[in-house]
Amino acid sequence: MRGPSVKERSRSSGIANSVGAFALAFLIVACQPADTSWVKPASVAAHQAADQFTALAKGSDATGQPPRQTDATVAPLLDAVFNTAVLTGKPTPPMADLDVMNDWMLSIVRVGQVYLFAGTGTNDPAKATTPAVEAKAESNVVTYAPEVGRYVDAELTAMNTVDSIVSADLAADQGKANDPTSADGLAKVRAGTTTAVDSILGTMTINGLTDNWRRARMPAILAIAPEAAKLLPADDRAKLNNTALAVAAAMDDAGLKSQLTTFASSIAAPH
């Protein structure tokens, strides 16, 4: 790997601290009645599984021993939270499903942060900004690469769905961008998306990860670019473009370089 400045960039973006940024931002946005569409059953199942998983994981921030997906008891819980296949190849859910998606996103984050915070001494993102916690979270990405990879993919896929909901709602009523409450919520959505994607891109440069692991993340990273490009303002798109190009420059694998450059081009301008 080349470009140590990219590694520092990923650390300064806050691998651990950004864990909850996206989901917590969205929790403030939705005030809609929950729909009973195809999204809700999966979201409810994810919530219940996350409750069970976090109960099993209690204390792992101190012990450094989170439940692993190789455990027969744990595997179906992770499947319920991280399996977002129901979200792909479907029409954009209605705005009424935003609360439902928010809850699923929070379930994904609650489970994912168990692995990032294992052995750090904290499970509070607000307290995860010290160099020691950041370094441990970074090493946990490698130690728990199978679970963290699933977490990243699920977060990106759910994020893409939420971005699609918000973009469609804005397209239907552009005046919402001028309403103070809606504008504040939109700003939080945009900031959450930018922070999460920037952090995930930075994570790709962590030493110890395999190129196979990195390649496995690229479909979800590429998939989010069109919706994020529509939703994000120019300065946020420029930030993600620059990060993607910096990460591409740090890659030795030609395929990864090409895919990251494609993402950078896709995010640079709305489609």
Could you read off the pLDDT of 48-86 as tens digits, one per residue?
999 999 999 999 999 999 999 999 999 999 999 999 999
Q: Which of 26-35, 43-52, 164-173, 207-216 has the lowest mean pLDDT?
A: 26-35
List Cβ neighbours of 181 (8 Å cut-off, separation of 6 or more): none
> How many of the other CB atoms lie within 10 Å of CB of 264?
21
Angle, vertex CA 90, rays to CA 219 and CA 74, nearest 5: 65
What pLDDT, on a 0 to 100 scale, did the predictor assign at position 186? Answer: 84
Number of structural domains, the chain?
1
Task: Describe the chain by its helix, strand, coil percentages, rounded to 5.
Answer: 75, 0, 25
SS3 for 214?
helix
Please provide the average confidence, as pLDDT, over all residues in the chain: 86
Domain span at residue 116 reads 4-268
pTM over 0.85: yes
Separation CA 268–CA 245 (nearest Å): 11
Q: Please, are residues 89 and 98 in contact by the beta-carbon 8 Å criterion?
A: no
What pLDDT, on a 0 to 100 scale, did the predictor assign at position 264? Answer: 98
